[in-house]
């Protein structure tokens, strides 16, 4: 009977495994001895079996935690890769912006504002025949002219966004002897009548309190 219990103990300890067959003679002898002890005191075997089950359960729980941690690490690695890619694009944009800024710094400074859009005012100083001064117009926005159907050249000096500044300059020109000086308005680069921009001039006057 004791022999059967001992064999049963060994079967329970090594159930589903072939460890016993791989043991050395000394190890087999030692485990046979332990099997006999378990046969004499089954409560020890019960304690051992429950402890093993608890250890197996703990091991399974730890494996689950490790799996969860590995999943979290994978998600964080993915996020890190996304942030690194975003950082790389931002660095590229910064490099491009710096290159554009360097180009702007290297470009020769403009000596005039862009008066091709909106309303501006010039002071016409006269219209003359047989006087072609067009070569002086280039790169000199404050001096200009245009030909008329009668073959005359109308010449203007100064260019202003503010009508009243243009009017002040016109008065200076008259004081200097240019009696025919008068204001001509332009809108989007085209000469127009003063009535076409009068509303804006009046609003400007009211806003400035002149």
Is the pLDDT at 10 greater than 90, yes or no? no
Dihedral sign computed on CA atoms, order 113, 115, 117, 121: positive
Q: What is the pLDDT of residue 17?
A: 47
pTM of structure: 0.41
* Contact predicate 153/132, CB 8 Å: yes
Examine the pLDDT at 135 and tell me if it is beyond 90: no
Instruction: Sketch the domain layout of the chain as residue ranges.
Output: 2-40, 119-208
Q: What is the mean pLDDT of residues 1-14?
A: 53
Q: Domain 119-208 in CATH: superfamily?
A: Sporulation related repeat (3.30.70.1070)
Whether the predicted pLDDT of 52 surpasses 60: yes
Confidence of residue 143 (pLDDT cuts 50, 70, 90): confident
Residue 128: per-residue pLDDT: 76
Placement of tokens 């800024």 in the chain: 101
Reading the block at residue 9, the tokens are 């103990």
């Amino acid at each position: 009977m004791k022999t059967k219990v001992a064999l049963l103990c060994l079967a329970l300890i090594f159930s589903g495994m072939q460890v016993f067959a791989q043991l050395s003679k000394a190890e087999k002898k030692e485990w046979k001895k332990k099997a006999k002890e378990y046969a004499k005191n089954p409560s020890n075997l019960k304690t051992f079996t429950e402890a093993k089950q608890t250890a197996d359960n703990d091991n399974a729980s730890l494996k689950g935690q490790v799996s969860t941690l590995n999943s979290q690490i994978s998600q964080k690695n993915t996020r890190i890769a996304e942030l690194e890619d975003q950082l790389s694009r931002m660095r590229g944009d910064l490099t491009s912006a710096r290159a554009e800024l360097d180009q702007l710094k290297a470009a020769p400074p403009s000596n005039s504002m862009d008066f091709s859009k909106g309303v501006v005012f010039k002071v016409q100083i006269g219209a003359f025949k047989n006087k072609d001064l067009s070569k002086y117009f280039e790169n000199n926005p404050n001096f200009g002219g245009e030909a008329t159907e009668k073959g005359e050249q109308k010449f203007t000096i100064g260019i202003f966004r503010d009508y009243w500044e243009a009017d002040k300059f016109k008065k200076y020109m008259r004081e200097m002897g240019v009696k025919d000086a008068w204001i001509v308005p332009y809108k989007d680069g085209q000469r127009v009548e003063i009535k076409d921009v009068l509303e804006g001039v009046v609003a400007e006057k009211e806003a400035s309190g002149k």
